[in-house]
Amino acid sequence: MIQDIGEHRIDIVYNEKAALRESDCIIAFQGRNVYMRKRKKGMPSSFLTCEDILPVEYRKEAMERYVKDAVYLLSLDGKKLFLLPAKYLASAYLAEKRDIDMFREKDEEGRAVNFAMITAWHLYCWYEKTKFCGACGIRLRHGKKERAMVCPICGNVIYPRMDPAIIVGIYEEDRILLTKRSPSSGYFSLVSGYSEPGETLEETVRREVMEETGLSISHLVYYKSQPWAASQSVLAGFFARLDGDAHIHIDKSELSDARWVRREDLEGCYSTSGVSLTAEMIAYFHKHPEHFPAYLNENIDNYKIDY
Ligand SMILES: [Zn+2]
């Protein structure tokens, strides 16, 4: 998955004292576009630095403006990454404007950079929408000790927004339920949805499955989670067994397609780019039939989270 970056390390902890230096990495966004270092064919993604885009003769003067406008985001392998306004990178010869969906590409070498980029985009989206206090309308300031925007008048503290959501792989013997939100989606997904206030994640799973497909489930088992910056969410993946009638009553306002697919027919139904939890879960069901009979055994107390 995109967050599986091997030996690379991303440190997301806020550092208010971090001040932009010439050798630090910089990034800028414009809507769903990102400015990164121009890529040569076959090369992994990488970030630009101030040194790359500022000619030596103007650098000292320009850095004063850059430092003022830069927001510290994170560090990748100890290298700091700062957010800058798009105007600073838009005209840089070495910069390239790309769709943020570039993070979905199969780019093993550039995976850590892609994950840092999409995490940066999550923060950028939040900063863009968190400029004024929702309670009193005053312009917010950056928090001093943690990543938050703080109102200097009423003390309102706003933390980065992240919506909890679930994904569930519902199976029955050698079949798994695949869905599509949009008919134009290339690959299939699993049933998914956002958690409501007052709900446990397990309750969200049962509600979403019932709402979108009319199916009942049992033997709900947690699989893995994933930060999914593209929708500013954190996803919790579960597997669950169909309980009862397999007939799907599809909610057309949510899904364009929902169908049972046999394990032997799953090839080509999901992305193999190794980025998303959804694809990993379908692949897990596809490639590891030996892990699923366990759920069907009589002695399943170690597996089930039933309530
Ligand atoms: Zn306020």
For the chain, 307 residues long, the average pLDDT of each consecutive 10-residue run is 93 91 96 92 89 90 94 96 95 92 83 94 97 97 94 97 97 95 91 97 97 95 94 95 94 92 95 91 94 56 42
CA–centroid distance, residue 141 to ligand 1 (Å) = 10
Helix (H, G, I), strand (E, B) or coil at 293: helix
Task: Determine the distance separating the centroid of ligand 1 and the alpha carbon of 195, expressed in angstroms.
Answer: 28
The separation between CA 231 and the C-alpha centre of its own chain, rounded to angstroms, equals 6
Q: Which residues contact 203 (CB under 8 A, 6 or more apart)?
A: none
Cα(240)–Cα(199) distance, integer angstroms: 18
The reported pLDDT for the residue numbered 293 is 66
Q: Would you put residue 54 in left (φ > 0), alpha (ψ -120 to 50) or beta? A: beta
- 166 and 201 Cβ atoms separated by less than 8 Å: yes
User: What pLDDT does 291 receive?
Assistant: 85
pLDDT at 299: 46
- Give the tokens for residue 81: 């990454």
Query: What are the angstrom distances between the C-alpha of 107 and each of 78, 155, 222?
Result: 21, 44, 28
Q: Quote the ligand 1 centre to 136 CA distance (angstroms).
A: 4
- 251-254, Cβ contacts within 8 angstroms, sequence gap of 24 or more: 251/211, 251/212, 251/213, 254/181, 254/211, 254/212
- Note the pTM of the prediction, 2 decimals: 0.89
Are 256 and 273 a contacting pair, CB within 8 Å?
no
pLDDT of residue 188: 95
CA of 85 to the centre of ligand 1 (A): 25
Contact, 264 vs 192, CB < 8 A?
no
Contacts of 149 (CB under 8 A, 6+ apart): 127, 130, 131, 140, 141, 142, 143, 157, 158
Alpha carbon separation from 21 to 15, 48, 63 (Å, rounded): 14, 13, 8
**Which 3 state secondary structure label does DSSP give 19?**
coil
* Distance (Å) from CA 113 to ligand 1 centroid: 36
Amino acid 304: pLDDT: 44
Beta carbons of 100 and 34 less than 8 angstroms apart: yes
Measured in degrees and rounded to the nearest 5, phi and psi for residue 3 equal -80, -5
Distance (Å) from CA 140 to ligand 1 centroid:
8
216, two tokens: 């009942």
